[in-house]
């Protein structure tokens, strides 16, 4: 029963957006020494791996996802010595460090691009995707940028267009040129040699584009809102050849002990699963599974998504779950504060590796920002849909205490994004002192997950017809059987659970209630917005309820 599980299967990944976690030097931007000063907080969350969004030198048009040097630290974040120290401190506490790898594009200030754009005849002239104007002049084809407008920008000097699916300051590398891929592997070796435990790989499915540069077809289901969605992106992402590149990245990781990569892939199950690769040719250890972020927050819908994902996993593939990141509206804003605990219980009790976004553990919500505070190019380029897609609201400073800048930066410093107005009550200090807070609940849940192999690595099975608005599932490992029951509604729900489960004990509730007495599960009642984890005693039949 107890096969060995790798750290990236057992542990919770916690994402830090470095600009927003902790400022140590008074410039209003978070930094590595700030994170260092909070390492004990990370330990207190019982998370096992820290993922840092990019910390490399960057002109910050896309806040670090426009990298000007893959092998250095931006002075705003600190120095390589600070990085080394952080890595040592994280490792000393038994945690792992995952860094962000952004292979699809660089900054237009990266020396590779500076050289490439010099003329059409230099050593790096085809390291990026350059195209002549269309025969009659104008754009080479109809490809679009995620950030609004065309995916092409004209360069006067070369008299050509270069391609970018994000900001125009993010030219895309040409992985049809083998030298470019070799350079990427060198970057990976650089960080592996420094001791990082893994990579989160930005837009890994986009690395190759159609070599014929064909127009993309219109999207018949377009709702007319976001220009990027007006086309079906069949030539700019998810090309079959990309898997060959990913396999070689994986081979490099496999040549080093216990390193991993988690790929950013927004695709439906059938496509997503291909990013695991096969037993003979493995690819990502984990391709991010983002589907719960867009699933309507209803018990039946969520259960259907989880069961379909579980069923679609190829043999040996390890599941993973994500409910928030720096590109998505905050969890507590999407599902509401009351349901945020239920969602957190779901994330941390499903089978597979969970990724938590900083601040969700204290219930941070999107912060509505006046236009003069917008920093995100997605919002600035498309003001008419900024309220839908702008990403500043979910990137505001971490709230540590009730002081003027919430402890994120010294008083009097102007943070790069405003601190939320609710920071006087929603903060780590206040919530740590309150045993009923979402933070206390989060810590209790992560501790339970650590101590219960059934939650960490056990089998999963959902249970039918429990009650309207309730989703229930079993997690089991050997003799240990846990039942998770989640009430997605704001009213009380009485459950009809399969008979034969016997007496059980509540291990944890989202309300933090912990009755001493045993409960009879087939007479169980859940309060509004309540989720519970129960330990099932051996039933009279000695068995689990019949499968759904």
Would you please indicate which residues are annotated as catalytic (active-site) residues?
Answer: 202, 264
User: Got the DSSP string for 387-430?
Assistant: HHH--GGGSPPP--SSSTTTTTS-TT---SSPPPGGGGTSSHHH
**Closest distance between ligand NOJ and the C-beta of residue 102, in Å?**
6
**Closest distance between ligand NOJ and the C-beta of residue 105, in Å?**
7
Q: Does 11 bind ligand NOJ (CB under 6 A)?
A: no
Q: Using the minimum distance from each CB to ligand NOJ, give the nearer residue, 74 or 530.
A: 74
**Closest distance between ligand NOJ and the C-beta of residue 118, in Å?**
25
Q: Using the minimum distance from each CB to ligand NOJ, give the nearer residue, 322 or 343.
A: 322
Cα–Cα distance for residue pair 237/207, rounded to 1 Å: 7
Task: Select from 65, 113, 128, 143 the one that contacts ligand NOJ (CB under 6 A).
Answer: 65
Task: Select from 42, 49, 203, 526 the one that contacts ligand NOJ (CB under 6 A).
Answer: 203
Cα–Cα distance for residue pair 186/119, rounded to 1 Å: 25
Q: Where do we find the tokens 């087939």?
A: 522
As given in the structure block, the two tokens for residue 424 are 């006087």
Q: Does 62 bind ligand NOJ (CB under 6 A)?
A: yes
As given in the structure block, the two tokens for residue 3 are 């096969």
**Closest distance between ligand NOJ and the C-beta of residue 64, in Å?**
9
Cα–Cα distance for residue pair 495/364, rounded to 1 Å: 31
For helices 80-92 and 178-194, the axis angle rounded to 10 degrees is 60
Contact 445, 350 (CB under 8 A): no
Binding mask 159-198 for ligand NOJ (x = CB under 6 A): -------x--------------------------------
**Closest distance between ligand NOJ and the C-beta of residue 31, in Å?**
19
Long-range contacts from 373-380, C-beta under 8 angstroms, 24+ separation = 373/417, 373/418, 375/63, 375/416, 375/417, 376/63, 377/61, 377/62, 377/147, 377/166, 377/167, 378/146, 378/147, 378/148
Q: Does 126 bind ligand NOJ (CB under 6 A)?
A: no
Task: Select from 155, 210, 327, 401 the one that contacts ligand NOJ (CB under 6 A).
Answer: 327
Other beta carbons within 10 angstroms of residue 257's beta carbon come to: 7
Q: Using the minimum distance from each CB to ligand NOJ, give the nearer residue, 264 or 283.
A: 264
Binding mask 282-321 for ligand NOJ (x = CB under 6 A): ----------------------------------------
Residue, CB closest to ligand NOJ: 65
Strand intervals (E) in 117-167: 130-131, 152-155, 160-163
Q: Does 266 bind ligand NOJ (CB under 6 A)?
A: no
List contacts with ligand NOJ (CB under 6 A).
Answer: 62, 65, 102, 166, 202-203, 264, 326-327
């Amino acid at each position: 029963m107890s096969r060995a599980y790798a750290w990236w299967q057992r542990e919770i990944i916690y994402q830090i957006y470095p600009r927003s976690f902790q400022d140590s030097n008074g410039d209003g931007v978070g930094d590595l020494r700030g994170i260092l000063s909070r390492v004990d907080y990370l330990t207190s969350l019982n998370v096992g791996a820290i993922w840092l969004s990019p910390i490399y030198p960057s002109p910050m048009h896309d806040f670090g996802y426009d990298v000007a040097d893959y092998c250095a630290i931006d002075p705003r974040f600190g120095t390589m010595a600070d990085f080394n120290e952080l890595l040592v401190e994280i490792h000393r506490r038994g945690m792992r460090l995952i860094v962000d790898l952004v292979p699809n594009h660089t900054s237009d200030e990266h020396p590779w691009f500076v050289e490439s754009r010099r003329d059409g005849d230099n050593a790096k002239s085809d390291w990026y995707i350059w195209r002549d104007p269309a025969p009659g002049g104008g754009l080479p084809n109809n490809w679009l940028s995620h950030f609004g407008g065309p995916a092409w920008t004209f360069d006067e000097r070369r008299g050509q267009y270069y391609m970018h699916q994000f900001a125009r300051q993010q030219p895309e590398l040409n992985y049809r040129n083998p030298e470019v891929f070799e350079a990427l592997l060198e970057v990976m070796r650089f960080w592996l040699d420094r001791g990082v435990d893994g990579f989160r790989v930005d837009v890994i499915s986009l690395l190759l584009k159609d070599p014929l540069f064909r127009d993309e077809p219109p999207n018949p289901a377009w709702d007319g809102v976001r220009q990027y969605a007006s086309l079906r992106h069949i030539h700019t992402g998810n090309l079959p050849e990309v898997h060959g590149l990913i396999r070689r990245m994986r081979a490099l990781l496999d040549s080093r002990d216990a390193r991993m990569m988690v790929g950013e892939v927004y695709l439906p199950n059938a496509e997503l699963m291909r990013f695991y690769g096969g037993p003979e040719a493995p690819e990502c250890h984990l391709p991010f599974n983002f589907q719960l972020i867009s699933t309507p927050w209803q018990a039946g819908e969520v259960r259907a998504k989880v069961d379909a994902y579980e069923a679609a996993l190829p043999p040996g593939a390890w599941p993973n779950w994500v409910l928030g990141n720096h590109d998505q509206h905050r969890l507590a804003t999407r599902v509401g504060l009351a349901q945020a605990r239920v969602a957190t219980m779901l994330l941390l009790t499903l089978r597979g590796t969970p990724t938590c976004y900083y601040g969700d553990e204290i219930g941070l919500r999107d912060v509505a920002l006046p236009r003069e505070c917008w920093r995100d190019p997605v919002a600035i380029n498309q003001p008419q849909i900024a309220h839908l897609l702008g990403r500043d609201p979910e990137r505001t400073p971490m709230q540590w205490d009730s002081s003027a800048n919430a402890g994120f930066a010294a008083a009097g410093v102007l943070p790069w994004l405003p601190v939320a107005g609710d920071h006087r009550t929603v903060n780590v200090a206040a919530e740590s002192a309150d045993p009923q807070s979402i933070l206390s609940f989060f810590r209790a849940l992560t501790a339970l997950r650590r101590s219960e192999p059934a939650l960490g690595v056990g089998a999963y099975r959902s249970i039918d017809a429990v009650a309207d608005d309730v989703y229930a599932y079993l997690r089991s490992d050997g003799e240990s059987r846990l039942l998770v029951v989640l009430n997605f509604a704001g009213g009380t729900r009485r459950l009809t659970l399969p008979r034969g489960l016997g007496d059980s004990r509540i291990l944890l509730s989202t309300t933090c209630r912990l009755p001493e007495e045993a409960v009879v599960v087939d007479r169980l009642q859940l309060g509004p917005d309540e989720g519970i984890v129960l330990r099932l005693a051996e039933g009279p039949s000695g068995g689990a309820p019949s499968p759904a």
